[in-house]
Amino acid sequence: MAGAAAPQQRGGNAEDVSAEALAEIGLRYEVDGEIATITLNRPDKRNAQTFATWSALADIGGNLPEQVRVVVVKGEGPSFSAGIDLRMFTPEGVPGQGSFSSAAALDGPAFEERLRQAQQGFLWLRRPEIVSIAAVQGHAIGAGFQLALACDLRIITNDVKFCMKEPALGLVPDLTGTKPLVELVGLAKAIDICLTARTVEADEAMRIGLAEKMVAKSDLAKAVQDKIAELLSTNRDAAAATKRLLQGARGRTLEEQSAAEGAEQAKRLRALFR
């Protein structure tokens, strides 16, 4: 696995992540002012993901320019992502990256460390300083579903098909998807979706809270643009502080949350009026 940058760092240049290296992995990355766009760009393989994909995502997160406020994650072609590259399950694996059988041969902590590194490609998408939007069309399977879940918001097309395939393959979903799934749809529905590995289509995804908006495929780019414009209309620092509050709300009592609101507001008021 290529060395992943520490995901909590911020403030690099977009150029730190080489376009050529990303193209080889099947990714495109563009920064336009306050908006960063990551495109899974291996449509002929339905944007299947490898260890290199996750490493590159972590590098992008580690070098995200300071000015970026919105990160869009999208997929080229008919599918958002068909999940992990199935060659990872073959003895030969993905050229230059090995396979699960070679990775599993690593001794205990080394193997687990490799799996943790893969998660770094997903975790940074939840930072308070940004809002991440997954623009999802067609299939979002396994790692593809989890990448969509790693984002703050999901805008979907009416042909979307979410599937948590891992348990059908003898695996657990481990790319940071289980917590957001439970938080979005509740424990019973998450058990239903994961332990059957069934497909959740667009209408159901909207009904159970997996997505914020559903549009026709031809309207996806515009729907994302509209959401970006809405998000950029608020104050940057207030947005980050509010996201921090919202993210912490479940883990706090009402009293603790009220205290956290007060502390954030005191900082805001001082910044605005001092």
Q: Does 57 bind ligand ACO (CB under 6 A)?
A: no
Q: Does 45 bind ligand ACO (CB under 6 A)?
A: yes
Stretches 18-26, 61-69, 82-90, 209-217: which one binds ligand ACO (CB under 6 A)?
82-90
By beta carbon distance, the residue nearest ligand ACO is 142
Q: Does 42 bind ligand ACO (CB under 6 A)?
A: no
Q: Is 128 exposed, middle or buried (0-12, 13-18, 19+ CB in 10 A)?
A: middle
Q: Does 65 bind ligand ACO (CB under 6 A)?
A: no
**Nearest Cα to Cα of residue 226 among 235, 236, 237, 215:** 215
Closest separation in Å from C-beta 20 to ligand ACO: 22
Instruction: Check residue 213 and report its DSSP letter.
Output: E
Q: Long-range contact list for 228-234, CB < 8 A, 24+ apart?
A: 228/35, 228/70, 228/72, 228/133, 231/69, 231/70, 231/131, 232/34, 232/69, 232/70
**Burial annotation 154-163 (CB, 10 A radius, 16+ → b, else e):** bbbbbbbbbb
Contact pick of 62, 83, 98, 177 for ligand ACO (by CB under 6 A): 83
Distance from the Cα of residue 180 to its chain's centroid: 10
Site size toward ligand ACO (CB under 6 A) is: 18
* Alpha-carbon gap, residue 147 to 57, rounded angstroms: 10
Q: Mark 149-178 with x for binding to ligand ACO (rule: CB under 6 A) and - for no binding.
A: ----------------xx--x-x-------
Residues in the chain: 274
Closest separation in Å from C-beta 217 to ligand ACO: 14
Stretches 77-85, 103-111, 178-186, 237-245: which one binds ligand ACO (CB under 6 A)?
77-85
- AA identity, residue 174: D
Q: Does 46 bind ligand ACO (CB under 6 A)?
A: yes
Stretches 56-64, 94-102, 139-147, 176-184: which one binds ligand ACO (CB under 6 A)?
139-147
* Alpha-carbon gap, residue 56 to 7, rounded angstroms: 11
Is the CB of 25 or the CB of 143 nearer to ligand ACO?
143
Binding residues for ligand ACO, rule: CB under 6 A, are 45-46, 48, 78-79, 82-86, 139, 141-143, 165-166, 169, 171
